[in-house]
Structure 1
């Protein structure tokens, strides 16, 4: 039964896919086979050991280029080369294994230590390539291959050393010549070919041809045979390394090696006249030497040019930065001579750089400061400090070309350049800033004078106002006392004409006079609290509060119940002011209580974390004491809890008062470095608190 068309198409597609994936392996195997058969044309000691072995370099490049996954191509090619040479399957398998391991290890070592295909960009990575790949990995193939030949009876053990040396030299030279040439030529973009470069390349090719002809092919007719003519190959290699880079160097080494092998095989040149294998070994030593020398020299030149380009770029960048700097930058040597003068310095001193360079820095310093400047620079040079501000106590003075002096600020730094100490000063003109600073100081002095004058005038006005207020108070209180006295006298007399209605009027007159007197007294107390600074010291609160309670009958049973919970602490304050403060708070706690409720007041204290309350007398991190006065009164609405501490603010008009008491409490507490506040809810009483400093 025939297969369906779909099955045939699938098989064909898989076959094409396999062929496509296998093409690189098969191509490498074919190239390896062809190069191997070419190399075996130069054997003499053993049919499997050649001093000329191009496949090693080709295999290394292939695995670097396409990855070590291409190793089957190396194995197949090496196996075919050997099976077609010896006909022995076992030895061919082992030799192919050695060749494959050599290529894989060489590629891995290059990837690990030399950057892979970038091994020939710097001299350091190239030397690593020589050690690890060219000289190191090639020993694997020589060890396995020669051992296999001896064990398989294809070579006598007595020839192990010569065969091993031949094998290893062939592989090493292939890595040193073939691999670099392929990588350098085909892994980098080709440079633009100018007429000048083409002529120089053709000239190099002509020189190599002439040297090769004279040294390796025909020889010099007048030179004895034992003359070291191979040294004539060195000048073209140096020319190539210096002028044409790594491409020219490796190409010159390859051509010179090819000419040397050609001449030696024709029994001509300095390496002929020995046994064939010995002659080829000498050629390979020569080839490895010139390849190593040419590439190393080319890479050193390349490294130097790269470093010079980087240095020139850095110098250009530094020059651009210095030229575009808005501050003047001047560098001097140890002899005080100017070695660098930027554009900002030209504008600042009105001197061209060409006229300033080489001149002594003294020309830009006023004569009276020159000696001090020299001592400063010399002293700075001995400190070892990298950078330091100049003129730490004020601005410096510089001198322009026309002799004009101007203020500057500057910093100085020091650095060694090629063994010579260089001092660099960065400076700027601060004329405008100095002028502005002088104007600011003048304005500040004027402002201070104005403030002092106005303060003195204000103090004078306050003194006059105080005198006037005391006079008014005195004049107001005199008629008030007369009103109180006469009203009381009339009320005390048993007068028939005093009707109940007139008696009520007299009581109202007396009550109003009393309220007026209290208002004047509180106003005077508040004025004194605002004006006077209170002397502070330790105050025993327990004794103070107890004394207040004992002094006022309305604070004692049965009118009120005031309990002191625990022990009240010692605080920092003024005893008289605290007496006034707590008298007001305790009096309010008793007064603002519903008529049908017996006033109950609790007084207690607690210690709080040390925090500065922000007041002028407060101290950071000092311990604070909070005293609570808790009552069962009518309470205070939330909107009034801050307002009641202001002047003439009363939350309850149904109770007598002047509206000054709590304002007086806040003022005296703040003068003692404390705070006062309240927590309250209408109908549930109030909790007043006072924060004071502990001793």
Structure 2
């Protein structure tokens, strides 16, 4: 039995590494379907692979990092033959999610995102701070390899950083909610969930493709989803909205028509960031308040049961033997 377990462990690790690499590669290919060009550098407004990487690290632990590196290698290989700068890009794409994971674990991050502090940690540590590592190493590698002029460092860095950060901010919470959801989901509110999906399918394309710049219309939708379904409703809506906005931005239509490439990037990333931030933090806050209310109700129920148990010993039936004994005359009084 010991020998079988020793053989099984490397097989499980190998399968896990292959699964992480496959998910990373597939998410990267989806992200590369829509690209923007800034200062001659091509980037993806949302790089889903970083969200997949952070989510895998949070679920499976630090041991899955080889899968991230392997997936990043095949993703770079799909864009062209490997060169010397490939090593630096692989280091950056692995180090960024790993640093994000270590910082999140340092502050006691919970994958169920049931506290406001978890949402804040994912935003400011996992997305904004952790992806500084991957973007800095990646862009510096391109400059040192002579593939990017030095004066284009900061515009390219900003585009790289925002793409990686949006991947963590939008994709990672969606995957964590998906992995932690109850299956099958409860059927009590299917009608409202279906209504939410229909409204999202109509409202989001209209807001992103409208020439009147009506992107603000998605915020009531996100508020509805967060109030009624918390993360399970708000994060799918945020992901769908981000995809539609990215498609409209890369096509330069709707709210993104008539803008320069830099303006399209800034407007898209500011919208994606504010929208995802609203959905994540509002849902986390509502979840935390709901859990606090349930804890208070449970404590009140336990207190009521304890008081009922104490008063049960102070009933007239319980006091009868003592009262009878007090009323019984002493033997010497007869």
**TM-score, normalised on structure 1?**
0.43
3-state secondary structure, aligned to 1:28:
helix
3-state secondary structure, aligned to 1:117:
coil
Residue aligning to 1:285: 270
Q: Does 1:294 align with 2:288?
A: no
3-state secondary structure, aligned to 1:52:
coil
In 2, the alpha carbon distance for the partners of 1:190 and 1:117 equals 17
Asked if structure 1 preserves the Cα contact closer than 8 Å seen for 2:41 and 2:156, the reply is: no
Q: 1:327 to 1:187 in 2, by over 3 A?
A: closer
* Unmatched 5+ stretches in structure 2: 1-6
In 2, the alpha carbon distance for the partners of 1:129 and 1:17 equals 31
CA distances 1:552-602 after superposition (whole Å, capped 9, x unpaired)? xxxxxxxxxxxxxxxxxxxxxxxxxxxxxxxxxxxxxxxxxxxxxxxxxxx
Match of 1:94 among 66, 88, 95: 88
Residue aligning to 2:58: 64
Asked if structure 2 preserves the Cα contact closer than 8 Å seen for 1:215 and 1:230, the reply is: yes
In 2, the alpha carbon distance for the partners of 1:19 and 1:89 equals 31
Residue aligning to 1:85: 79
* Unmatched 5+ stretches in structure 1: 1-13, 220-224, 330-343, 349-427, 447-695
The Cα shift of 1:260 comes to 1.3
Q: Does 1:141 align with 2:128?
A: no
In 2, the alpha carbon distance for the partners of 1:191 and 1:295 equals 23
In 2, the alpha carbon distance for the partners of 1:20 and 1:294 equals 36
Asked if structure 2 preserves the Cα contact closer than 8 Å seen for 1:142 and 1:167, the reply is: yes
Structure 1 or 2, whichever has the larger Rg, is 1
Residue aligning to 1:169: 162
CA distances 1:398-426 after superposition (whole Å, capped 9, x unpaired)? xxxxxxxxxxxxxxxxxxxxxxxxxxxxx
Q: 1:57 to 1:438 in 2, by over 3 A?
A: same
In 1, the alpha carbon distance for the partners of 2:110 and 2:98 equals 12
Q: Does 1:309 align with 2:294?
A: yes
Whose relative contact order is higher, 1 or 2, with alpha carbons under 8 Å and at least 6 apart? 2
Q: Which structure has more helix as a fraction of its residues?
A: 2
Q: Does 1:231 align with 2:216?
A: yes
3-state secondary structure, aligned to 1:243:
helix
Matches for 1:103-502 after TM superposition, within 5 Å: 103-118=97-112, 120-190=113-183, 192-194=185-187, 196-217=188-209, 219=210, 225=211, 229-326=214-311, 436=326
Q: 1:81 to 1:192 in 2, by over 3 A?
A: closer
Is 18-27 or 122-131 further displaced after alignment?
Answer: 18-27
Q: 1:87 to 1:209 in 2, by over 3 A?
A: same
Residue aligning to 2:3: none
The Cα shift of 1:306 comes to 1.7
In 2, the alpha carbon distance for the partners of 1:231 and 1:20 equals 46
CA distances 1:209-263 after superposition (whole Å, capped 9, x unpaired)? 221132112x2xxxxx5x5522110111111111112111111111111121122
3-state secondary structure, aligned to 2:32:
helix
In 2, the alpha carbon distance for the partners of 1:121 and 1:298 equals 9
Asked if structure 1 preserves the Cα contact closer than 8 Å seen for 2:36 and 2:250, the reply is: no
3-state secondary structure, aligned to 2:230:
helix
CA distances 1:131-157 after superposition (whole Å, capped 9, x unpaired)? 221111111001101111111111112
In 2, the alpha carbon distance for the partners of 1:304 and 1:65 equals 25
In 2, the alpha carbon distance for the partners of 1:19 and 1:437 equals 81
3-state secondary structure, aligned to 1:79:
helix
Q: 1:89 to 1:136 in 2, by over 3 A?
A: same
The Cα shift of 1:438 comes to 12
In 1, the alpha carbon distance for the partners of 2:120 and 2:207 equals 29
Q: Count matched residues.
A: 325
3-state secondary structure, aligned to 1:155:
coil
Asked if structure 2 preserves the Cα contact closer than 8 Å seen for 1:54 and 1:171, the reply is: yes
Residue aligning to 1:492: none
Q: 1:48 to 1:94 in 2, by over 3 A?
A: farther
Q: Which structure has more strand as a fraction of its residues?
A: 1
3-state secondary structure, aligned to 1:132:
helix
Moved over 6 A (4+): 16-20, 432-435, 437-440
Q: Does 1:36 align with 2:28?
A: yes
Asked if structure 1 preserves the Cα contact closer than 8 Å seen for 2:111 and 2:176, the reply is: yes
3-state secondary structure, aligned to 1:240:
helix
In 2, the alpha carbon distance for the partners of 1:157 and 1:437 equals 103
3-state secondary structure, aligned to 1:325:
helix
Match of 1:74 among 68, 71, 94: 68
Q: 1:191 to 1:233 in 2, by over 3 A?
A: same
3-state secondary structure, aligned to 1:44:
strand
Q: 1:286 to 1:90 in 2, by over 3 A?
A: same
Q: 1:436 to 1:161 in 2, by over 3 A?
A: same
The Cα shift of 1:53 comes to 0.7
**TM-score, normalised on structure 2?**
0.85
In 2, the alpha carbon distance for the partners of 1:130 and 1:91 equals 29
Asked if structure 2 preserves the Cα contact closer than 8 Å seen for 1:261 and 1:280, the reply is: no
3-state secondary structure, aligned to 2:252:
coil
In 1, the alpha carbon distance for the partners of 2:312 and 2:71 equals 71
